Structure 1
């Protein structure tokens, strides 16, 4: 962490817990909880997924504190190209989901969903390609396959001219093996590392082992904007900035990160605001014509009140801040 921690009492006094309803199930949930922090520079977000232990979740808290207490870096661009995100819905639902996006030029498609098979993945990708023949398509398996399944599935899915495949298997060595087997089979499909970067104690190992062609990075899981900029500079790989299913407050931090990168060759995964049926501000941070504006977002007091969950959940999040804060102090 490159900044001084504010007192814990200040954080707790200016923290607000919200629960956002979602339009479709995503990552197995239909409601998204988050804790927002109001600080001297604006608003920050702490929304580590509820199953994460304090050691991992503390990086998310660090990012939220950074956003609330530190200025965003000077932007190199004022808008960010973004992809549409297609959850693992049935092929018949693809059109309805993608219609909610404004001019999708790039579509990220979830595959390897638990309880589904390759046939459903192929149908979903095929329908996206049929509806948007000129769009760049990419798939994200969220570590859902083993190496054999991944190679088999990606050989079939590569027929749809994919831009890249994101985290087909767990770990870094698994990624390297999948990438090598595809190359041996004559399939030049790029492999992107996501969980292998953000859940690893050494994110740069992906680059050293040649396990991926690019990195998908998120501001919250890696500790904030400055931490990610440092990783990107050292890794010397192309970077895609993505959302961790953030509210508009978290999305504004992610957009600020994308705006500060020296190069941005791929559309970013920052259009997830469309997945929410409500948000913490009156005008959610949404893309126009496939581009997201770079701007600070302030939470609306009325929304904070409307979206506040029951006191038991508020108390749970405040205790979590205390636990994660202890981790940051130790570090």
Structure 2
């Protein structure tokens, strides 16, 4: 079972909307080496895992796969925030939707020459399950051979390639919203590189000086350096409420990245930050609940509470 806490796994720094950066981030979400791929690949590998004696390896893959669910949530929310309000429309809510606002533009003019037009036509200024050129995410990306060594090698390649691409995306934008998420994922991808490398080391593979892939100068990416200084590249979470994970038997000892840190797997999950819901977007005809629906919901709630009061008495106020 999986449980959801209404927190994002990492804070998203506020900045101006940037639809071009949002489209670049789509590769990190729905591309061949993106977060949707890692999430699905590791969850399928853990569901299909065979061999009770190898449980620590299953628990490691499952823990990382569970974290990847939160990465999908994080990067998807970041894309939505980069798009939210990006038309630059300066009109009033009561203005005709086909009229340019005072000092502004027609509501969705920016969609014609910035980023991915499907973000506006299909997604109502939100993330889509596609790559940066609009190709839909495909289940054929998922690799699950059933062979532990092959799966671990493939997973390490996936994390390394995903990290490489995120380093490139970082260099494509100076938007603080985009970079805050990209930096976090660069560091967590390194942690997952370490996890799979350590698992393979326990099976006889010696990585010597190969990791991390790619080798980056942390000081070049200040947001990344801040997270590395916290040791985030050497932590792995279990996401295990019952305390049954044995992933710590593998994720321990000196880091394969040869950065002088030790691997630690003694945390259930990071604290996270509050998750908020984006405002309505009238130009996208995505207003949420109109007054009539809100009135209906309130009336239904009142009826249900009346039945509760009849059966159990009024609820006590704290």
TM-score strictly above 0.5: no
**TM-score, with structure 1 as normaliser:** 0.22
Work out which of the two has the higher radius of gyration on C-alpha atoms and give 1 or 2: 2
Considering fraction of residues, name the structure with more strand. Answer: 1
